[in-house]
Amino acid sequence: MSQSIVIPPMPIQRKQDIAYHASYVSTPEIRARPEPDSTNSCSEDPGSSQAGVFEPPELTIHNPPKNFHRVIASGIWILLGGFTDGAPGALLPTIETYYDVSYSVVSMIWVSSAVGYLVVALLASTLSRYVGRSRLPSLGVACQMVMFAMISPGAAFPITVVSFFFGGMGFAITLSQLNVFFSRLKGSATYLGYLHASYGVGATLAPLVSKSMINAGVQWHYVYAMLLGVSVLNFFNLGIAFRGAEEDLKPWDGEAIKTGVELDRLSRCTCQGGATTEGVARSGTVGGPSCNMHTPVEIEPASVREPSLMRTALKDKSTWLLSFFLLFYQGGEVAMGGWIVTFLLKSRGGNPKNIAYAAAGFWAGLTLGRMSLTRPVEKFLGGRRGVIVLLVLSIALALLTWVIPHVIVAAVFLSLCGLAIGPVYTLMIAVSSRTFPRKIQVVSLTIVSAFGSSGGAVFPFLVGLISQYVGTYAVLPIFMSLLGACLGCWLLLPNIDRNAKLVWWHYLW
């Protein structure tokens, strides 16, 4: 006895004689692979070459059209994020004097920020489900606005510490969403390079602008009042750019593609009566009245599957390896940018009036590396090998910075170290987007980004704590140790660049 399967939540709409799932209607360019006639297409494996599979067009900066605005708005936002991370390095001596606190106490601002990052990592799936991905970038900016509003009056030190918690949450929320979006673009490594180069531009400008304001007699907390004004613009800019993102980016979402394939397989059943998608479009049933399907098939809504994605992501080994990789990487990067000025002042006898240029040189090298080296390294070495080479080179340059006593020469090697370490982040994001299963890509990248941001808060605190007791010369050994830990995590990651692994070193290189 034949039966029909009604799927009310998933209406089918027709466009140019092709039945489309409702979530695909907003992108007309989606096409379905032609498939040969079959007398029993109901039994086909949806993953086989015979099964009908919806293939969305490539996601580019012009498809959907709003992507161009999203890319520009993201670049402006992360430039401010780089400025926010780069400013404490130049302001740290002034903040210590203003509050009359030690290295270890002032480092509490980074601990507070780390807690904010970790909260986002734990709530990644929940935030995505209840807030919506189109509104998350603006929510992150709103949290940053709270941070700047609390700091700008120059309030008591505990209030400043708490404010960094909101800043950490905001940065992690927005950055994780942008990393997911950029990792899916065609030529993702190039655009990720530009995105995080914008971060480097902000971090380069931060010590220069901050120190200039301090030298001009401006109170340090007015720097954050300036950032508050820019954040208001970012809030509206990102909100407009990502409005409707859940709909027009749906075809490139892992769950949407999976549901489209399932529905396409059901709707292409050709049985005794020869009913196809025509019957679906007219009657709202799968297979029409004559499709002989004896086993009902239920397509589980995405909202039911969503809570399990966090558990699946946490069970994935690559999620943890890349989380710790980025934890150590950003920890070393921000610790270097935040404490290198103090190191050169205390251990190398630098001039307080112009020593901020050394920190600016590090961030400028990082920016230049992301803009100019990301694409060539990926092309000639590949993502995995490129990261290995750049990490080894960065460790060597950091060692030279540490052992050479001349402050100017040390600053030059510091800039070269920034140049080498810069592309590592963007290459890692590009590789991770191919490493994670598509259904957990959003959640896993959110966890990875939050862990990385927390590393950028925890390790600067630890550097300050250690420097309190052993001196600031410990900054560079800690930096090199963190890069070595990055290298270890990277080598343990599955080598997706080699399909055939014939000898042991194919697993590493």
Give the CATH number of the domain where residue 442 resides: 1.20.1250.20
For residue 290, give the 3-state DSSP assignment.
Answer: coil
The predicted structure's pLDDT at residue 55: 60
Q: How far apart are the first and last CA of the chain?
A: 58
The predicted structure's pLDDT at residue 334: 85
288 occurs within a structural domain: no
Residue range(s) defining the domain that contains residue 192: 67-248+308-494
The predicted structure's pLDDT at residue 276: 41
- 79 neighbors 202 (Cβ within 8 angstroms): yes
28 occurs within a structural domain: no
Token reading at 426: 């963007």
DSSP letter at 58 equals P
382 occurs within a structural domain: yes
Tell me the C-alpha distance between 184 and 172, whole Å: 19
Predicted TM-score (pTM) of the model is: 0.70
| Residues 6+ away with beta carbon under 8 Å from 320 | 314
- 407 neighbors 347 (Cβ within 8 angstroms): no
234 occurs within a structural domain: yes
Tell me the C-alpha distance between 254 and 205, whole Å: 38
Token reading at 195: 């995105």
457 occurs within a structural domain: yes
454 occurs within a structural domain: yes
- Which residue type is seen at 35? E
The predicted structure's pLDDT at residue 25: 40
CA distances from 355 to 1, 19, 177, 414 (A): 84, 65, 36, 13
Token reading at 473: 């010369």
Tell me the C-alpha distance between 393 and 388, whole Å: 9
The predicted structure's pLDDT at residue 509: 66
276 occurs within a structural domain: no
Q: Locate tokens 């290189």: which residue? A: 509
- 117 neighbors 326 (Cβ within 8 angstroms): no
The predicted structure's pLDDT at residue 358: 84
The predicted structure's pLDDT at residue 393: 96
pLDDT in tens, the chain (509 residues): 445 444 455 444 444 444 444 443 444 444 444 444 444 444 444 444 444 445 667 888 888 889 999 999 999 999 999 999 888 877 888 998 999 988 778 888 888 988 998 888 888 778 878 888 788 999 999 999 999 999 999 999 999 999 999 999 999 899 888 988 998 888 888 898 889 889 889 988 998 899 889 889 999 999 999 999 999 999 999 999 999 888 888 887 755 444 444 434 434 444 444 444 344 433 444 444 444 444 444 444 444 445 577 888 888 999 999 999 999 999 999 888 878 888 888 888 877 777 878 888 998 999 999 989 988 998 898 888 999 999 999 999 999 999 988 888 989 999 999 999 999 998 998 888 888 887 888 888 888 888 887 888 789 888 888 888 888 888 999 999 999 999 999 999 988 777 656 555 666 66
Q: Angle at CA 202, nearest 5°, toward 200 and 207?
A: 105
Overall number of domains in the chain: 1
Q: By C-alpha distance, which of 343, 331, 318, 341 is closest to 494?
A: 318
Q: By C-alpha distance, which of 262, 270, 278 is closest to 19?
A: 278
What is the per-residue DSSP string for 445-492?
A: HHHHHHHHHHHHHHHHHHHHHHHHHH-GGGHHHHHHHHHHHHHHHHHH
Tell me the C-alpha distance between 207 and 228, whole Å: 17
1 occurs within a structural domain: no
Token reading at 285: 């049933």
81-95 CB burial, b ≥16 within 10 A, e <16: bbbbbbbbbbbbbbb
